[in-house]
Structure formats: structure tokens, C-alpha cells
């Protein structure tokens, strides 16, 4: 079952972005997916968002949900829903174009030559997982996001609603968790430091994907249901 860490503090537009990052380093990948550049100094969240051309409201909606568990139903506007979809689309690009290739490169580098029999199995296991996630993301990109964007534009869509997505929205981390456990339990290696780095990457990716799914389930879906009504 997906869970999130909950903090007491929530952030406002006038808070410094650096204070937000220092509150929880898990915010850093979120900055990347909002395309917020480094070098923000002591600028406020509002200043940084304005300079990056993103909605401060959407940014705070995401990060405060991550930190405090704040629900999004009160902010169910077409503009915020559109911003959340854009953020989730950027997240798909981040995982497929950067995060997964990064983990795969580190994984292949960490494999021990004495395990030529099982090394291909491990790499294929990871590749199969990425293929599974790609299919999951493709459904969202080709079916769910167009539906939401059409809904925001006031166009009707017969035979589909966000409840269909919710009913079929499976968790995508099970196989990644299996890979992590296989390595920890059974993979003996002469270069453990490299493989420990891979495990850190996998743990971080697993947490990041959990957050991604929670934003879809607990922020986007209630928001779209409210707009549908």
C-alpha cells in the first residue's frame, strides 16, 4: 500500500525556495520535473515560479501535498488540473528519458564478471520492468491526459470518465521492489560499493514513483471528479 511521510509544515508563495528544499530533499526531483533551474539563491517560491513560467499555485499544490498530505479538492479548477497534468507528463519524460537509463547504466557497470550466467537475467528483469512502466505511461499519455484536457476545454467524451482510470490504476513498483530484494538477498559481488549505489538509486526511484502515483490518485483524480460534476 502506498504511503507518504507527513510533515507539519506547509509552504506559501513568500517562503524561500531554499527553505523548502532543506525541509525535505525529496523535493529536488520535483524541481527538476517543474524545470526549475538551480541558482535560485534566496528567492521566494513565487519569484522562482514566476521566472520559470510555471504556476505557483500548482507548484505549491504538489509540494505541500508531499510534505503535509494537504488534499487538492478545494483547488479543483480547470487551470490547476491542467497544470497537474503538465507536471505528470514531465514526470513521465523524467523517468523514461533520464531516471531509468541512469539506473540501467549504473546497474550494468556494477555487475560482477563472475556472474555471467545471471547478469543477463538481472538486466532483462529491469528492462521488462521499464517496458511495463512505459505501457502504463503510454495509456495515461494517449487516453487519460487527452480526456482531461478535453474536459478542461469543455468538450464531452462519451463512454469515459476518470473513474475508469481510477478502477484500473495499478501500482507499478512491485517488480522494481522484487529486483531490489533479489540483489540484496542473493547477489554476491566483488565491487559492493557500485552495487550499493545502484540500490540507493532503486530505493530513490521507488519512492519517487510512489509519490508520482499518490499525486495521480489523491490530487488529480479527486480534482477531475469535481470538474466532471
Assess if residue 12 is contained within a domain.
no
Beta partners for residue 44, in sequence order: 16
- Counting the structural domains of the chain, the total is 2
Average pLDDT, the chain: 89
89 lies in the same domain as 55: no
Assess if residue 7 is contained within a domain.
no
43 lies in the same domain as 98: no
Whether 70 contacts 7, CB under 8 Å: no
Per-residue pLDDT tens digits for 116-134 = 889 999 999 999 999 999 9
Assess if residue 132 is contained within a domain.
yes
Cα-Cα-Cα-Cα torsion 10, 13, 17, 19, nearest 10 degrees, comes to: -40
Q: Is the pLDDT of residue 1 over 60?
A: no
62 lies in the same domain as 154: no
Which pLDDT does position 92 carry in this prediction?
Answer: 97
Which pLDDT does position 224 carry in this prediction?
Answer: 92
Alpha-carbon distance 110 to 134, whole Å?
A: 24
Assess if residue 46 is contained within a domain.
yes
Domain region containing 94: 76-228
164 lies in the same domain as 130: yes
pTM of the model: 0.89
188 lies in the same domain as 159: yes
139 lies in the same domain as 209: yes
38 lies in the same domain as 141: no
Amino acid at each position: 500500500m502506498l504511503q507518504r511521510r507527513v510533515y507539519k509544515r506547509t509552504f506559501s508563495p513568500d517562503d524561500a525556495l531554499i527553505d523548502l528544499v532543506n525541509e525535505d530533499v525529496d523535493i529536488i526531483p520535483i524541481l527538476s520535473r517543474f524545470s526549475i533551474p538551480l541558482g535560485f539563491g534566496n528567492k521566494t517560491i513565487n519569484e522562482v515560479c514566476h521566472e520559470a513560467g510555471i504556476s505557483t499555485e500548482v507548484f505549491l499544490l504538489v509540494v505541500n501535498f508531499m510534505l503535509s498530505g494537504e488534499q487538492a479538492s478545494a483547488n479543483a479548477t480547470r487551470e490547476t488540473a491542467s497544470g497537474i497534468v503538465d507536471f505528470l507528463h514531465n514526470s513521465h519524460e523524467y523517468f523514461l528519458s533520464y531516471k531509468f537509463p541512469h539506473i540501467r547504466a549504473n546497474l550494468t557497470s556494477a555487475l560482477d564478471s563472475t556472474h555471467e550466467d545471471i547478469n543477463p537475467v538481472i538486466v532483462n528483469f529491469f528492462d521488462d520492468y521499464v517496458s511495463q512502466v512505459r505501457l502504463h505511461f503510454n495509456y495515461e499519455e494517449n487516453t487519460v491526459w487527452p480526456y482531461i484536457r478535453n474536459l478542461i476545454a469543455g468538450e464531452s467524451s462519451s463512454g469515459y470518465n476518470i473513474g475508469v482510470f481510477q478502477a484500473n490504476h495499478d501500482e507499478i513498483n512491485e517488480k522494481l521492489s522484487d529486483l531490489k530484494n533479489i540483489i540484496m538477498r542473493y547477489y554476491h559481488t566483488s565491487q559492493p560499493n557500485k552495487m550499493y549505489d545502484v540500490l540507493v538509486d532503486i530505493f530513490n526511484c521507488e519512492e519517487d514513483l510512489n509519490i508520482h502515483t499518490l499525486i495521480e490518485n489523491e490530487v488529480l483524480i479527486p480534482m477531475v471528479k469535481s470538474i466532471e460534476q
